[in-house]
């Protein structure tokens, strides 16, 4: 149990209600000098900080003295001062300018330094309470230099178990004191027995824990150093016992965002503001990973393999200049040979759940799915046990809050439970591109790490409130994320196998029409070359020029969002523009946003108050992309939802290349990776995991058309499929070999024999599953009372998601949070481009259908009965890849979410089965009982 649990309900409520107000005061810091204090004892950094913050701002101060008598004098000036005589007389206090001048007048106060950080005496190398003390004993958040010095101290004492090193440097924050950039090391800490034996290390099963990718989300940076110290000092015995065979790798990937709290740096566009910052010089650090699928030109993507993606060239200049830290991290992680899991520790604002796990893995077969959810469950179990007070608060919410649940924009101030999990859309309410956890999960052939991975989100760990140090809250966050680390290690010790236990054999209607290939792209001339170097300096908003102009013009615009008010930004789109991308960030508050075209039409909206969490919306609204935008002035409007005010930064990118096949070499500086993808690979992968056969049959074979069958590759071996069952020996009816048939497209809709064969299959007791455009087949069936006009496909959905889910067999095993069917970005779709095929609800129910899920009042998931059989409809699950958006790093075949897989499992009357260390632990899905 935490040492800092909330034992008093009123204290709990007050602490959290105070959070949003605290940041408003911090943001009041001016950008010019406010004092002219100087003293011989001040070092240059300390003097700058005192003179560039408000006179009443208390600066963290370390004072070295020549004798102990000075300590009592210091305490009389600053009653809260902490003092020590070891290893020499020294004091720590938060001093206003007036107090600092008084201390400097003391004859024995010889050296006065700026001292950010949690341990007041870390600059002295003095650690009486431990290198990284419990948050209740700290004076502030851990400072980046403090953590680096602390790791070196631990390495001196535990050289056989800890290795600390840098893997490259950041671009550096501009230092107003020294008038130069300050690049900082990207820190890596490895923990294992005999960590210096690199051959042995490479054989160990390795767990990756990424921290501080967003510098203003402090929970990971607070938890991981303390966990490392606990592990090295005997306080994590269960994990310690594993270090002969397992290794932990901790990475700290955004040093500039962490260091931004030092007032000599600009933070979030505010000079001298002591605030942590989200991103790096290239923009949002969690949008910079070279993931397959849609890539927004508003982001700076880091691929250390270079412009040609094969290691023979350098990355584009603008990438190397602005995101060297991300390039170094990606390159380094690819050197680990035996990674088995990875977690990325983030922070959010208000949430119904204290910790969220975001599963972004896309092309996952049954085995990969079950590994991902075993990782989720191990972490969830540990977090729930560590944060039991949150579970108690959730069960007694009325008592905790005096009969009400105080909230921001309708979300709980006191979270209602300790842990929940889902996709980014299901949890924090948005999709996007370039996420690090998705990169970790993608196959190595597509540049990823090919491991089960999660983004973790921690409540009340963000700039809003997160800038003000609250020991109780930070202690809870440390407890939660240390539990997550234990869960990730526990997962690494488990051998997880998943299988698909099917109810009979399955056929899917095969076709080549869904295949998408890079060979089909015409991306213009071969002189795109090193285009894309003409990009803006995303961190400062200054546009640089290059010798080779790029069709993509990128700018960063800043604005101020008043507390409780609105603000707008305007961008002029030229007539030749073919794509317009917008990536907005609201740094210190939570805002809703809308994008308005020149004619006044609102083309994109985001409501930050919807969903389970505000923290995902904070600082990271969706990235919007508009194809063939109207020429003229576009308006981006923000509404502050927290009445706290904020700086606003938006990346605008305008492309004047081809609409049909954008050239990534010209627009981003990267060449196009070769690929060929087919959503029907879903069923080929299913065949590897299923207990029954999963076979592809072309339309011609089902229709009995020998010529068409031959054209599509010949008649299948029906004798093999039918086996020895004499009741299923009619080779003229290939569907007789199967219990289930899946049609995920409308190929063959004009072939009456094909449609009749499907209809007869159902009438005779078969189970037909129609997905995506396969739903159009309903209008062609004589026995189904659904007309062609009742089935429509809308291609402007934000994502493929159900907004209403009923109690229905097709969603058996669903968690309440789950409603998202497939990930858009890995298949090349931008937001508001997801195709969803649906059926008029009245027509569907009149035809005898039962509804499982609706989108926009239309049926997307449901069941029809026909004769002795059933038709399952899933209106959006396996679309073909979309090639008209930038996708330099290739594509995946399919991208079904866990919920999408579950719906298909239930549609096939099957179950997903998980075995852990050889024992069955989980069965998910309705199975063959039809429940």
| Cα–Cα distance for residue pair 343/379, rounded to 1 Å | 10
Contact 273, 177 (CB under 8 A): no
The residue-averaged pLDDT of 886-907 equals 97
Looking at residue 581, its pLDDT comes to 87
- Mean pLDDT within 672-695: 97
Give the pLDDT band of residue 929 (cuts 50, 70, 90): low
Q: Is residue 794 pLDDT above 60, yes or no? A: yes
Residues 6+ apart with CB under 8 A from 102: 77
Asked if residue 391 has pLDDT above 50, the reply is yes
Q: What's the rounded Cα separation, in Å, for the pair 856 and 793?
A: 12
Convert the pLDDT of each residue in 13-64 to its tens digit: 333 333 333 333 343 444 456 788 999 999 999 999 999 987 778 999 999 9
pLDDT of residue 612: 67
What pLDDT does 539 receive?
Answer: 37
Report the DSSP beta bridge partners of residue 628. none
First-to-final CA distance of the chain: 41
Residue with tokens 């939802």: 641
Structure tokens of 76?
A: 């009389």
pTM of the entire structure? 0.90
pLDDT score for 308: 97
How many CB atoms are located within 10 Å of the residue 148 CB? Answer: 18
Do the bridges between strand 453-458 and strand 339-347 make them parallel or antiparallel, or are there none, so unpaired?
Answer: parallel
pLDDT band per the 50, 70, 90 thresholds, residue 662: confident
Pick 550 or 625 by higher pLDDT: 625
Considering only residues 387 and 202, tell me which one the structure prediction assigns the higher pLDDT.
Answer: 202
H or E segment at 904?
helix 898-907
pLDDT of the residue at 733: 87
Report the distance separating Cα 536 and Cα 18, nearest Å: 38
What was the pLDDT predicted at 401?
39
Other CB atoms within 10 A of residue 25 CB: 12
For the stretch 235-255, pLDDT in tens is 999 999 999 999 999 999 999
pLDDT digit string, tens, across residues 413-442: 567 788 999 999 999 888 889 999 999 999
Give the confidence band of 529 by pLDDT, cuts at 50, 70, 90.
Answer: very low
Percentage of residues in the chain having pLDDT higher than 70? 86
3-state secondary structure 523-540: CCCCCCCCCCCCCEECCC
Q: What is the mean pLDDT of residues 387-405?
A: 52
pLDDT of 362 above 50: yes
Residue 894's φ and ψ, nearest 5 degrees, are: -150, 165
478 and 135 in contact (C-beta within 8 Å)?
A: yes
* DSSP secondary structure of 595-621: EE-TTS-EEEEE-TTSSSBSTTTTT-P
Cα–Cα dist 432/430, whole Å: 7
Residue 63 bridge partners (DSSP)? 91, 112
Confidence tier at 563 by pLDDT (50, 70, 90) = confident
How many whole angstroms separate alpha carbon 614 and alpha carbon 502?
40
* DSSP track, 636-669: EEEEESSSS-EEEEEEEEEE-S-SSS--HHHHTS
Residues 6+ apart with CB under 8 A from 271: 30, 31, 32, 52, 176
Secondary structure (DSSP) of 385-430: HHTHHHHHHHHTHHHHTTTS--EETTEESS-SEEEEEE-HHHHTS-
Coil/strand/helix, residue 786:
coil
Confidence of residue 209 (pLDDT cuts 50, 70, 90): very high
- State how far the alpha carbon of 830 is from the alpha carbons of 602, 624, 773, 798, 881, in Å: 17, 8, 20, 8, 11
Taking Cα atoms as reference points, which of 841, 334, 741, 724 lies closest to residue 504?
741
Q: Residue 833 has what pLDDT?
A: 94
For residue 638, list its beta bridge partners. Answer: 567, 593
pLDDT at 876 over 70: yes
pLDDT at 588 over 80: no
């Amino acid at each position: 149990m935490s040492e800092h649990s909330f034992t008093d309900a009123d204290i709990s409520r007050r602490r959290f209600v105070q959070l949003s107000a605290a940041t408003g005061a911090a943001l009041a810091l001016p950008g010019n000098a406010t004092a002219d204090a100087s003293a011989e004892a001040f070092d240059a950094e300390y003097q700058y900080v005192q003179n560039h913050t408000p006179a009443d701002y208390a600066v963290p101060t370390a004072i070295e003295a020549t004798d102990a008598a000075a300590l009592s004098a210091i305490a009389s000036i600053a009653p809260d001062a902490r003092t020590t005589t070891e290893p020499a007389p020294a004091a720590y206090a938060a001093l206003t300018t007036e107090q600092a001048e008084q201390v400097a007048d003391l004859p024995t106060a010889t050296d006065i330094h700026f001292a950010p950080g949690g341990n007041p005496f870390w600059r002295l190398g003095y650690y009486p309470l431990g290198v990284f003390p419990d948050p209740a004993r700290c004076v502030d958040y851990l400072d980046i230099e403090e953590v680096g010095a602390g790791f070196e101290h631990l390495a001196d004492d535990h050289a056989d178990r800890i290795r600390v090193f840098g893997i490259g440097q950041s671009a550096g924050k501009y230092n107003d004191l020294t008038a130069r950039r300050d690049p900082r090391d990207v820190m890596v800490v490895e923990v294992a027995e005999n960590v210096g034996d690199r051959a042995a290390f490479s054989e160990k099963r390795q767990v990756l824990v990424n921290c501080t990718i967003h510098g203003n989300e402090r929970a990971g940076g607070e938890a991981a150093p303390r966990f490392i110290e606990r592990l090295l000092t005997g306080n994590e015995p269960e994990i310690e016992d594993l270090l002969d065979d397992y290794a932990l790798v901790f990475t700290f990937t955004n040093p500039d965002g962490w260091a931004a709290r030092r007032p000599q740096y600009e933070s979030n566009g505010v000079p001298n503001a002591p605030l942590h910052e989200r991103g790096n010089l290239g923009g949002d650090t969690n949008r910079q990973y070279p993931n397959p699928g849609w890539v927004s030109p508003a982001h700076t993507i880091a691929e250390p393999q270079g412009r040609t993606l094969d290691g023979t060239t350098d990355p584009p200049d603008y990438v190397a200049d602005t995101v060297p830290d991300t390039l170094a991290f990606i390159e380094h992680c690819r050197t680990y040979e035996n990674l088995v899991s990875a977690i990325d520790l983030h922070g959010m604002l208000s949430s119904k759940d204290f910790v969220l796990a975001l599963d972004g893995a896309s092309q996952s077969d049954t085995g990969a799915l079950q590994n991902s959810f075993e990782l989720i469950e191990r972490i969830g179990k540990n977090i729930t046990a560590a944060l039991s007070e949150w579970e108690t608060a959730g069960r007694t919410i009325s008592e905790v809050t005096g009969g009400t649940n105080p909230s921001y924009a309708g979300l709980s101030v006191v979270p209602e439970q300790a842990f929940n999990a889902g996709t980014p859309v299901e949890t924090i309410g948005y999709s996007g591109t370039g996420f690090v956890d998705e990169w970790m999960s993608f196959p190595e052939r597509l540049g990823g790490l090919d491991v089960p991975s999660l983004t973790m989100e921690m409540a009340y760990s963000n700039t809003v409130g997160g800038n003000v140090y609250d020991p109780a809250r930070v202690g809870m966050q440390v407890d939660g994320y240390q539990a997550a680390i234990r869960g990730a290690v526990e997962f690494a010790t488990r051998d997880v196998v998943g299988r698909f236990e099917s109810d009979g054999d399955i056929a899917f209607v095969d076709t080549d029409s869904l295949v998408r290939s890079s060979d089909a792209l015409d991306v213009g001339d071969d002189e795109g070359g090193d285009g894309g170097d003409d990009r803006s300096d995303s961190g400062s908003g200054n546009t640089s020029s290059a010798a080779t102009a790029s069709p993509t013009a990128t700018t960063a615009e800043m604005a101020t969002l008043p507390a409780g008010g609105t603000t707008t930004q305007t961008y002029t789109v030229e007539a030749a523009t073919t794509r317009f991308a917008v990536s907005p960030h609201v740094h210190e508050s939570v805002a809703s946003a809308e994008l308005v075209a020149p004619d006044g039409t609102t083309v994109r909206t985001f409501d930050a108050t919807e969903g389970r969490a505000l923290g995902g919306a904070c600082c990271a609204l969706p990235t919007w992309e508009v194809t063939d935008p109207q020429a003229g002035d576009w308006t981006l409007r923000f509404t502050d939802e927290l009445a706290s005010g904020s700086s606003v930064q938006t990346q605008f990118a305008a492309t004047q290349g081809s609409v049909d096949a954008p050239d990534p070499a010209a627009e981003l500086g990267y060449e196009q990776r070769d690929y060929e993808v087919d959503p029907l690979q879903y069923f080929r992968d299913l065949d590897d995991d299923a207990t029954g056969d999963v076979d592809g049959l072309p339309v011609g074979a089902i229709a009995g058309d020998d010529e068409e069958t031959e054209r599509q590759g010949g008649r299948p071996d029906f004798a093999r499929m039918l086996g020895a069952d004499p009741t299923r020996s009619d080779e003229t009816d290939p569907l007789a070999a199967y219990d289930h048939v899946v049609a995920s497209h409308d190929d063959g809709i004009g072939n009456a024999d094909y449609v009749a064969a499907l209809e007869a299959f159902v009438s005779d007791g078969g189970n037909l599953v129609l997905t995506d455009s396969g739903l159009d087949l309903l209008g062609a069936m004589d026995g189904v009372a659904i007309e062609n006009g009742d089935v429509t496909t809308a291609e402007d959905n934000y994502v493929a998601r159900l907004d209403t889910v009923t109690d229905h067999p097709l969603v058996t095993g669903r968690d309440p949070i789950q409603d998202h069917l497939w990930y858009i970005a890995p298949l090349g779709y931008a937001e508001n481009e997801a195709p969803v095929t649906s059926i008029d609800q009245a027509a569907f129910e009149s035809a005898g259908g039962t509804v499982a899920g609706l989108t926009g009042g239309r049926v997307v998931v449901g069941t029809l009965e026909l004769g002795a059989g059933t038709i399952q409809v899933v209106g959006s699950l396996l679309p073909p890849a979309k090639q008209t958006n930038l996708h330099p790093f290739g594509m995946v075949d399919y991208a079904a979410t866990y919920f999408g897989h579950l719906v298909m499992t239930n549609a096939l009357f099957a179950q997903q089965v998980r075995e852990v260390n050889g024992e069955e632990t989980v069965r998910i899905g309705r199975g063959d009982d039809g429940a």
